A and B are shown apart, each in its own frame.
Chain A
Amino acid sequence: MFKQTLHISTSPHLKLGVSTDDIMRNVVWAMLPTSAFAVYAFGLSVFLLLVTSVVAAILTEHLLCRWSGKESTVNDWSAAITGLLLGLTLPPAFPLWMAFVGSVIAIALGKFAFGGLGYNTFNPALVGRAVLQAAFPAAITTWHPAFLEGRFTDIAGSTLALPFMEPTYDAVSGATPLSAFKFDGVAADSADLALGLVSGSAGETCALLIVLGGIYLIARNMMNWRIPVSILLTVYVLSGIMHWVDAEAYPSPVFMLFSGGLMLGAVFMATDMVASPLTAKGVVVYGVLIGLLVVVIRLWGGLPEGVMYAILLANAVSPHIDSALQNRVYGTHKKAKAV
C-alpha cells in the first residue's frame, strides 16, 4: 500500500499568507494616531477611558474563552480593536464604569454570543455603543470641550463616577458641531472640523488622522476601499443636492463629511470584515445604504448623529445583500441563478 500524501482541502488554495492577527495588528496601528490625538485633545480623561474599554474588552474575551473551555483568542488583537473602537466613539468625559459595561456587552453579546470572531452579525463595538446609548442617554450625549487648560492633570468629574451611580458633570460642556447645527443652526468651520479642533466623541474629531489610518490600511490591502469611498461619496452627493435645494436648512456637504462620527464609522467600523458583504458589488450597495441612512437620520431624524444606527442596520442586511448579488460563477450563463 502506498502512503497517502494527497492533501484534501476546500478552496481557496492560493493564500496570501497574511493571518488574521497580522491584519488586526495593522488595524490597531492605523487607529493609533487617532487615539493619540484623542488623548492630546481631551487629556487624561480620554486616556483612562480608552485604557478602561480596551482592558475590559480583552478581559471579557479572555474570561469567556476560558469559561467555555476554548483557547484564549486574546492574541488575535480583535478584542483590543473592539475595545479601542468603542472607547473612541464615547464622549470624552464618559464615566469609566459605563465604558466598562459597554465593553463587556460588546464582547459578550455582540461577539461571543454569536460564536466569536468571524461569526458576529454586527460590529461588536457598535453593539456596545448602541446598548450604552439606550441605557444611558444622558451620559452619552454630554460632551466635554476639547483643548481645555490643564486637561493633562485634571480628570473630569463624571469620569470617576462610582459604579452604578449617576455621574455629576462639570459646569463646562460643549456641543458637537452636529448638535450645534441641528438645534442652534450654527455650522462649524470646515478647517476646524478636518483638523479636529471641535468637540465630539473622543476619537471622531480629527478627520484627517482617521483618513490617514484608512489610507495606510488600503495601501496594505487590508481594507476594502469600496466601503468608505461609497459611503462618503453617497453622503457627499446626497447632502450636496439637499444643500443646493435649500442652503439655509441643510448643511454643506463638506460639513457633513467631516463632522460627527462619519469618518470614524466609514473607515474603521463599516469595514468590519465579518459584518460587511463579500462581493465587490455587494459592498458598494452596502456603502450606499449606509450613506443614505446617515443623511436621512442626520437631516430629518430626531438625533443629530446616525452613523452608528446606519452601520448596524446595514450590517443586518449585509447577508441578504450577499445572497442577492452573488458573483456569476465563471463559465456559467448570465441568467443562471446562483444558489
Chain B
Amino acid sequence: MNKPTDKSGFFAALEDSPSADTFLRGLWKDNPVFVQVLGMCPVLAVTNTSMNALAMGLATAFVLLMSNVLVSSLRHFIPKQVRIASYILIIATFVTITDYAIMAISVELHKSLGAFISLIVVNCLILSRAEAFASKNTVGQSMLDALGMGVGFTFALLCLGVVREVLGSGSVFGFGLFPDGFQNWIVMILPAGGFFTLAIWLLLFNILKQKRATT
C-alpha cells in the first residue's frame, strides 16, 4: 500500500499489517451491514431495542467465529462438491448451541428474539465468510476475519437498535432517557422503522465514504 500518509506510529503500523487489515476490514471498509448489506433479516427484524440488537449481534458473532475456525481447519478435508452442505451443518451446530445457551441465560431474551436465533443458520453473512474466506485461509486469519466481521455486524445492529429504542420507547438498554409522558414513535418499533433507520444509516455511511474518498 503506497498511500500518501501523514499518519504515523500505531495506525500506520496497523494499516501495513495484513492481520490487522483482515480484522479491521469487517469493522469499516467491508462492514457486513453498511457496505456489503448482508444478513438483512436480523438487521431489520430484531433491532427494535438495543438489548435485542446486542444479543443478536453477539450470537451471530459467536456462530461466525466458531464456524469460521472449524471450516478453516477442515478446509482440506471437505470435498468441493459437498462443501456448502458441510458448511451449513457446521453452522447449524453452533446455532443450536447458541440457541440453548441463550435460553439458559435468559428465557425472556430468547422469547423476544424468537425464531431469529434459529434463523442465524441462514444468515448469508456467515455462509459468505465460510465460502469466501475461511475455506481459503489459515485458521488464524479466519479467526481474525470472523472477529472483525462479527464486531462490525454487532456494531451495525447496535447503531440501528439504539436509534430505534430511543425514538420508539424513549430509552436505551431499558433505561428511560426522558421524563414521564414521552411520546413513543410507534413506527420505530414496527418493521417500517427498521427500514427507515437502516436507510438513514446507509445514507450517512455513504456520505462519509464519499467525503473520505475525495479528501
Contact = CB atoms under 8 A, between A and B. Distances in A.
Contact of B183 (A109, A113, A164): A164
A198 to B, nearest CB: 28
A165 B199 CA distance: 26
A166 B170 CA distance: 12
Interface string B178-215: 11011101111010110010011001000000000000
Interface string A149-168: 00000000000010011110
B186 A136 contact: yes
B182 A164 contact: yes
A131 B192 CA distance: 9
Contacts of A113: 199, 203
A123 B192 CA distance: 18
B187 A166 contact: no
A136 B183 contact: yes
A139 to B, nearest CB: 8
Contact of B187 (A98, A131, A164): A131
A134 interface: yes
Interface residues of A, number: 14
Contacts of A164: 170, 178, 182-183
Contacts, number: 36
Contacts of B187: 131, 134-135
Interface in A18-67: none
Interface residues of B, number: 17
A267 B34 CA distance: 40
B168 to A, nearest CB: 9
Given A134-B192, A135-B188, A166 B203 contact: no
B181 A166 contact: yes
Contacts of B196: 109, 131
A113 B183 CA distance: 26
A166 B192 contact: no
B136 to A, nearest CB: 39
B185 A135 contact: yes
A137 interface: yes
A134 B190 contact: yes
9 contacts: A109-B199, A134-B187, A134-B190, A135-B185, A135-B188, A136-B183, A136-B185, A164-B178, A165-B182
Interface of B: 170, 178-179, 181-183, 185-188, 190, 192-193, 196, 199-200, 203
In the A-B complex, the 8 residue pairs with the smallest Cβ-Cβ separation, listed nearest first, are A134-B187, A135-B187, A135-B185, A166-B183, A166-B181, A165-B181, A135-B186, A134-B192
